[in-house]
Amino acid sequence: MLVRTRFERLEPEFLLTGVSTRVAAVGLLLFVTARAFAALAAPTIGVAVGLALGLRSPTVAVTIVVAVTGLVTLAVTLGAAGRLAILLVGRRLVQGGRYRDLLVVFGWIPLLVVVLVLRELSVSVLVPFAWLDGLPVAWFVDLALLGANDLATVDPWHGLSALGTVLVGVPLFAGETAALARRIWETEPVDKTAACGSKSLLAEGRLERCLIDRVSRPTLMVARARWLTERRVPRGVLSTGYVLLFAAVILLPVFSIAGLPLLLLIGMCLGLAAGIVPSVDPIGVEYRTLPLLLTTVDGRQFVGGLLLAALGIGLPLVTMVVLPLGLASAAGIAETVGVVLVGVAVCACTAAVCVATGMDADRDEFVPVPFFFTDVPVYAQTGSVSFVRLGAVFAIVSLVTLPAVLGNAPSVYEAAGATGLSMGAVRLGSLLLTVLVAAGVSRIAFRIAVRRFRTYRL
């Protein structure tokens, strides 16, 4: 805290007086180190003198002072370098919103993987703490008691290693501090000055070149605008956390108890998440531009654009994840392709149902609320209305996937196999039936969403 306060207070003075950044950084390190020594000098000398008298070894007082001095100096230089490194990374994350969003939204995944691996290997959480005895910090105890001769059980090599760590680490971290300070105070921009992340909604891109003869330009514009809006303020991406909660609390226990393949669960969850990202809360996302949309874009173009935005995310995502997993598992090629089709169909169905239910919200119910990653408030409904609506979407999509769930249950396809039917045909047929049901529900929800868009009143 002391290092951080001094850096924040003295940085403007360094820049105004024209002092060299390297000199200022080194001077600041010396100042903080002196302040730390001033606070620790009395207790350190008291402990050193007390142990020297108690152990009847004057040299232990010298080694204690050397150990504390080295440890404090190393801690100050390491702390200053770490603080500046965190500041530099923080500025980069603020400037690169996409990477920051990915870090915040998906940063829990490595921690979850580590916990699952430790649990799978039956490794106790207390095991890593046993490594602390071998860390260089513990060597300073050996260095402090090195002057006690044979009166204390210490490892001389650990003590000398601690001294070597100080002699090597302090210059290294001090140089790193000076380099980072120069990078932050002299070359790093204070804020973004150029337009970053802005793209034209009318310029032709890959999407237009692929679909310009099949999809109208307003529909493509709506899809492109939704992707750009989501990139700037990831409301839909953060809403996928509810998909994770729904899958962990409800779907995963059901699949585990019924013995259903996890590949189907992965395909369904990916399709559900991809469908929610561009279609959740359409009135709240388009709140400021809603009067313009209602007068310039047709209902089919608006709903079709959101559906296209969902498929543009879900189709590659489901294919790239499910297809390799299916080919690497015991599932056949036909069943893997069937799961991919189910995931894509669930994505389209989720998007259509989400837009249909979201277009039923009254614009007067939306109020400005603070949101992540932006200083500009977003518009959303207060209370439990949005959660109930999202729960309804989950319920409808779950009913749509019911044929695939039942057809892949061992009790169902084994019973069908006992009657002479092929078990593989039953499982594959249930997947195709789910695709057909999802297509029918998507068509109905699409028409409802278009009608609500056309009859919407401000």
Each residue's pLDDT tens digit, 203-248 = 566 666 666 667 788 888 898 889 888 888 888 888 888 898 898 8
Chain center to CA of 76? 31
Closest Cα partner for 113 from 103, 104, 121?
A: 121
pLDDT tier for residue 355 given thresholds of 50, 70 and 90: very high
Helical segments of 290-384, H only: 290-296, 299-328, 333-358
Give me the pLDDT at residue 337, please: 93
Which residue did the predictor score with more confidence, 137 or 325?
A: 325
pLDDT higher than 60, residue 431: yes
pLDDT per position as a tens digit, 327-344:
887 788 999 999 999 999
- pLDDT over threshold 80, residue 439: yes
Give dist(CA 267, CA 319) in Å, integer. Answer: 9
How much is the pLDDT for 195? 46
Q: How far apart are CA 147 and CA 354, in angstroms?
A: 73
Q: Is the pLDDT confidence value at 153 over 60?
A: yes
d(CA 184, CA 164): 30
- According to DSSP, residue 77 is labeled H
How far, in Å, CA of 359 to CA of 15, rounded? 54
- Tell me the whole-structure pTM to 2 decimals: 0.61
% of the chain with per-residue pLDDT over 70: 75
What's the confidence (pLDDT) of residue 107?
A: 63
Q: How confident is the model at residue 91 (pLDDT cuts 50, 70, 90)?
A: low
Mean pLDDT of the chain: 79
Q: What is the pLDDT of residue 336?
A: 92
